[in-house]
Every structure is written in structure tokens, then in C-alpha cells.
Amino acid sequence: MNRRLFIQAAAATASATLLIAAQAQGTGTSGTKRHKIVIQMSDADPGKWNLALNNAKNLQDDVGATNVDIEIVAYGPGIGMLKLESPVASRVDDAVKAGVKVLACENTMRGQKLTKDDMNGAVGYVPAGVTEIMKKQAEGWAYLRP
């Protein structure tokens, strides 16, 4: 009887250890590697924005949307593409609905005297875009600037 309890406890401990190790390595319980990428958008060019949004969609299609974390961080001139009436507003909405985080730099917003009321309602915010990118890279995220 005690041997059976010991074996069950050992099996439970081993399962928990494997789960913790998988999470620490960025893999899911199925063993699939979790990918992470931060995309810098500091250009006001709708063509570059469409390229970045295509890159995000293609990544999700290629590795599976549930296997990749994607952040698009906009600052400087790129912040204009996150305004309500931006030429890429509907594409940004679609990306956010698909699980892409699109983040606006609050430093740039202050500098350009923009408020959250001026911005696309789908986007999120970070205090400083360049700091967000730096932190993600320090955490091992891949970096892309289309």
C-alpha cells in the first residue's frame, strides 16, 4: 500500500517538474516552442505598416496563432498610423482581434499632444516605446523592423 502511494507521489512530482521546466523554456504542455516577436513601427508610411501587419499575420499562419506572441510597438512618426482615421485603422483592428498586441508610446503621444480619444480604440499603451522594445529584447524576444 505504501509503495503504491510512493509511486503515485513520485509520478505527480515528475509531472509537475516537467510542466514547470516546459513553462520556463517557453514551451507549452504539448512541447511546442512558444515564439515571441516585437515589431518596431516608427514610420508613418502606410505601406510599411501593411508590411508589418502582413508579417504578423504570416507568422500566425505559419507557426500557429496560439504559438506566437506578437507586439507591434509604435512611436515617433509611426504613432500617426494608430489614430482613429488612419489609412490602416481597419487592418490594426483585425490584427488586434487576431491576438496581436498593438501598442502606442505615451511619450510620443504627449509630444504630439495626442490623447487616447484621438487613438484607435483597439490599441494598448506603453509609457515608452523604445523602452518596451529594449525590455522585450532583453527577455529574449525576436526583433523585427520592416
Q: What is the 3-state secondary structure (H, E, C) of 129-143?
A: HHHHHHHHHHCCCEE
Across the range 11-34, mean pLDDT stands at: 49
- Based on the structure, what is the number of domains in the chain? 1
Domain membership flag for residue 25:
no
- Write the CB contacts of 127 (distance below 8 Å, at least 6 apart in sequence): 105, 106, 107
In a domain, 15, yes or no: no
What is the per-residue pLDDT for 30?
A: 52
Is 93 part of a structural domain of the chain?
yes
Residue 7 lies inside a defined structural domain of this protein: no
Residues 62-68, mean pLDDT to the nearest whole number: 96
pLDDT of residue 26: 53
Span 100-126, average pLDDT: 98
Domain CATH number, residue 106: 3.40.1260.10
Domain that holds residue 67: 34-144
Q: What is the pLDDT of residue 143?
A: 97
- Computed over every residue of the chain, the mean pLDDT equals 86
Average pLDDT over residues 63-73: 97
Largest CA distance in the chain: 72
In a domain, 43, yes or no: yes
Phi, psi of 125 (to 5 degrees): -135, 145
Please determine, for residue 12, whether its predicted confidence score (pLDDT) is greater than 60.
no
Gap between the Cα atoms of 126 and 129, Å rounded: 6
Asked if residue 92 belongs to a domain, the reply is yes
Structural domain contains residue 139: yes
**Residue 23: inside a domain:** no
